[in-house]
Chain A
């Protein structure tokens, strides 16, 4: 046991701890700035837990305690209980269906006593663990398609359940686990195909359907021309190219409109379209009404517009933490949670945002460095999982605030206000630290 203890203190990566504390500190500061009103008594309200920043501090303390417990636990605990956690997570997700309470229009939260609890958040941890467990099994050959499918299934099952609970944003997080699978041997083609489809969807939204069809045809023709020698050798190449072309066009013509009309919810469609500055052609309104409402400032647009104003008005150095007019006067909705980045943007300007992003980048790189020095596959996969989740959150959240991504309810790790989020991320990170402390071991 004492060997474990010394092992722990030797093995724990101090940089990680420091980064964690730094980010949480920034978070509390930002929430303070976002909710501070002139004349509020700072110290007394801090300890009375009425204000958001004091609540965040309280959550931090709670998370730190749990984190410490994690650090004191044996690593084997995690490998052993990974699947159990996964099962618990899925069970809780299923529990939401009958027992959910309607909070803010979502159907994914269970109310229990005075607490709110969103199982989908917790599943991030459990999926990370379970996926790593699966990928680290000696009899898993990831080059085989079957394993890949099972891994995908593990990763995406909570996603599907979340979509059914109308939490599309949260569901999208699970797609980031593809990154882990890529690291473990998934063909890069998957990523390329995913990327291409994304580009195609964007192109469908932005361009006229006919224009796009023509462009696709031209590209197909060009490819046929360029590969004519190979076609002469094997006819099947031509067939596959034509087949690809067919798929692209059908996606553009049928799949995308279908998804927009029937699968996605109206406000999500709105958000996606407003991201590109285009009117929504799928709203079931007659043309003139749609035009009129398009001219109005839509609610979906408002968040992003205000957020961009807030960030943009920060300039190079920012206005000072407490002097941001947009922050102080509540122009940006949801500023404590999803749009917390605006506070940094307005308060500290370009310098501040770049510094914050650098801190995040250092964090991500550190996680990857830790991942690469692991001996056990489990730890490595888990680390990549953590990196993927963090990356997804940071990227989408910041892009949301600057107008590069549609508005999804994704918090910024360690900074957004929210006990559940803070807890989840802390647990994710600390399990990693714990596993890293035992990097010399090969875990089963």
Chain B
């Protein structure tokens, strides 16, 4: 029996071999042929951790840090790995309830999928972070803490021009062609935004190994594959943080702007916009709360009025108008105009002049010192009617070219995003408005800085620089140098070019203009700005201010404007100050500029100046119309809210006093009353950005 079964033994051996061959074939398939297992193993075990470098620091001209870095922590969650979590304990630690917990997980899944980490709560307060750090091990692999750099402001100043950092949104990611990833932080405005590439540095990656419970257990390949993060480079600016702080203090509770430039370099020494705020409230976990509040505030604190506020220059324009005529050779410094209190050459006797005594505009210097309206209206007309050009339209075109050369009506190109260009109307604007029939008398008030002309405080300060420098300027900018600057850093190239704008004016004539402006301080409208021992050249301005509210044209208190530079012999600083709703230029804007000049040039302040600082700082010049506007805006919003959601909780505030306010839903009668009141105010009444001849303030 065992004989014939020998063959069976071979069959059994064959079966063994056959099965083993099948097994080896599959092994070959897994190990040799299919490469995906290598990759899957990697994915299982290797966790690439992004290392964010410290952001570049911004220094003032004395190398003090205006902005610095600190760390904040986010709680991140990977939804797929949230298992067996003691949710009630976590909710306790985070001070949320379980419904919010669930909602956040759903949000995370929605944002980033189940298998990638998303922020569960970002920018933890220090207390929460401490509690979580002690207890994070309880919550398994689904939760981890991630650190993130956040800005601090040692001097608590410069909010407007510094800007803020925020998380990237999909638009930024798309535009960056994949350079930015979800979770990155970028500068969103101001210098943070403009110099983002420099300040950002380079991300690094650290490869860590994680075990099957997603705990990090060590470095992959001993860190050989890691790339180090490169720190962001610092920026050296022209800003003087002491002046900046002083200017911010003086501008508290005022709407307006201050811009101080160093004429020889175009470097900005200080830039303030009012209403102002502390830069800290837009960082870290304060951001969300504050930002929404600011957006709804009708005084628009986020608006940087220094580069976006559009103001008619008023009398502060006059020296520029004279320079145009001088450059064209239309007048000399001894040109005089017989102004008797009004300008009659156009027939209608407008504009009126503040002086009527004889000889107050006998020459350029006197005209500037006395701010004669007739003189400068006439000077403008001379430029527009220049016989060198065929008609007034060409003459105006030439005049406009000069304005643009001065930096008015164009964007100067400051190193901040979203600069506005003011307004010097084009010939076509006048053609359209007056149906091609106009002459220099039509827009005569351009000569005294009114009509359609508007300028930003930055442009006004820059114009001062041109006068101070006697005919050239550098584009105003903040950053003097980038740390470790290389040839590849071309951002600063345009700021190092000198722009010569007025070539036909002799130094003597410049001197006359400066002396005229000095007279304004010594004897004229700006005596309040006088500082003993310094020759200040200045010009005040008072621009009218209208608003249309409830279909009525309301004349508000004028805007107070002041431009200056000092010292006359060797100008080191040029300042433009605008204070809305403040009356004469000399009352509010002048003293502010004067204090800043004193601090900058003398480094110390006299005792009376220190007192003045407190006075000015405490002066509340917020336009009272803002309260009305805020009320209207809020009540409109409440009505809209009610209309959409039928939730009357916000409307109740605005029901007429005296009508019964019931605990349950307001009676339809109340709602109708409020609705009728509000509806009587057309939406276009509140925010009139009309380009008509009413000056509007943004």
Binary contact track A339-363/B, C-beta < 8 Å → 1, others 0: 0000001100110011001001100
CA distance A154 to B212 in the complex (A): 45
Neighbour of B209 across the interface among A182, A188, A312, A329, CB < 8 A: A329
Q: Is the CB of A315 within 8 A of B38?
A: yes
In the complex, number of A-B residue pairs with CB atoms less than 8 Å apart: 119
Partner of B27 from A311, A313, A365, A377 at Cβ < 8 Å? A311
Given A312-B30, A330-B212, do A357 and B20 touch, yes or no (CB 8 Å)? Answer: yes
Q: Which of B23, B37, B210, B211 contacts A357 (CB 8 A)?
A: B23
Closest A residue by C-beta to B6: A372
Chain B stretch 3-23: residues in CB contact (< 8 A) with chain A? 5-6, 8-9, 11-13, 15-17, 19-20, 22-23
- Does the CB pair A350–B28 fall under 8 Å? yes
Give Cα distance in the complex from A136 to B15, angstroms: 24
A334 to B343, CA, bound (A): 101
* A368 lies within 8 A of B12 (CB): yes
Is the Cβ of B13 less than 8 Å from the Cβ of A183?
no
Q: Which 7 pairs across A and B sit closest by C-beta, in order of nearness?
A: A312-B37, A313-B41, A329-B211, A325-B45, A312-B30, A350-B31, A309-B40
Cβ contacts under 8 Å, B30 to chain A:
308, 311-312, 345, 402-403
B32 on interface, CB distance cutoff 8 Å: yes
B44–A326 contact, CB under 8 A? Answer: yes
- Contact A404:B38 (CB < 8 A) given known A183-B8, A345-B31: no
Q: Would A329 and B212 be within 8 Å (CB), given that A183-B8, A404-B26 are in contact? A: yes
Bound CA span A80–B155, Å: 99
B44 & A185 in contact (Cβ 8 Å cutoff): no
Q: Are A329 and B12 in contact (CB under 8 A)?
A: no
Q: A184-B5, A326-B44 are in contact. Are A357 and B24 (CB under 8 A)?
A: yes
Interface centre among A183, A312, A399 (most CB of B within 10 A): A312
User: Are B20 and A361 touching (Cβ within 8 A)?
Assistant: yes
- CB under 8 Å from chain A, chain B span 38-68: 38, 40-42, 44-46
Interface check A224, CB cutoff 8 A? no
| Shortest distance between the CB of B25 and any CB in chain A (Å) | 10
Q: How distant is the Cα of A350 from the Cα of B33 in the complex, in angstroms?
A: 11
Contact: B2 with A329, CB < 8 Å? Answer: no
**A-contact 0/1 string along B530-573, CB 8 Å cutoff:** 00000000000000000000000000000000000000000000
- Nearest CB to that of B26 among chain A residues? A402
Query: How many interface residues does chain B have, given as a range?
Result: 35 or more
Structural contact, B212 and A331, CB atoms closer than 8 A: yes
A213 CB within 8 Å of chain B: no
CB distance from A350 to the nearest CB of B (A): 4
A308-B37, A315-B32, A330-B213 known; 15 new pairs, CB 8 Å cut-off, are: A309-B37, A311-B31, A312-B31, A313-B41, A325-B45, A326-B41, A326-B45, A329-B209, A329-B217, A350-B27, A361-B16, A361-B17, A361-B20, A380-B2, A403-B30
- For residue B508, CB closer than 8 A to chain A, the reply is no
Chain A residues near B (Cβ < 8 Å): 38, 179, 182-185, 188, 306, 308-316, 325-326, 328-331, 345-346, 349-350, 353-354, 357, 360-361, 364-365, 368, 371-372, 377, 380, 384, 387, 391, 395, 398-399, 402-404
**B1 at the A/B interface (Cβ < 8 Å)?**
yes
Determine how close the nearest CB of chain A comes to the CB of B223; give it in whole angstroms: 15
Give 1 or 0 for each of B63-93: 1 = CB within 8 Å of chain A CB: 0000000000000000000000000000000
User: Are the C-beta atoms of A345 and B27 separated by less than 8 Å?
Assistant: yes
Inter-chain CA distance A357–B31, complex, in Å, is: 15
Question: Which of B8, B20, B31, B217 is the one whose CB lies under 8 Å from A314?
Answer: B31
| B659 is an interface residue with CB less than 8 A from chain A | no
| A395 lies within 8 A of B19 (CB) | yes
Contact among B23, B40, B45 for A399, CB-based, below 8 A: B23
Is residue B682 contacting chain A, with contact meaning CB distance below 8 A? no
Contacts of B22 on A, CB cut-off 8 Å?
404
Q: How far is the CB of B48 from chain A (nearest CB, A)?
A: 14
B486 / chain A contacts, CB cutoff of 8 Å? none
Question: Measured between alpha carbons, how far is A281 from B38 in the docked complex, in Å?
Answer: 32
Q: Is B103 an interface residue (CB 8 A)?
A: no
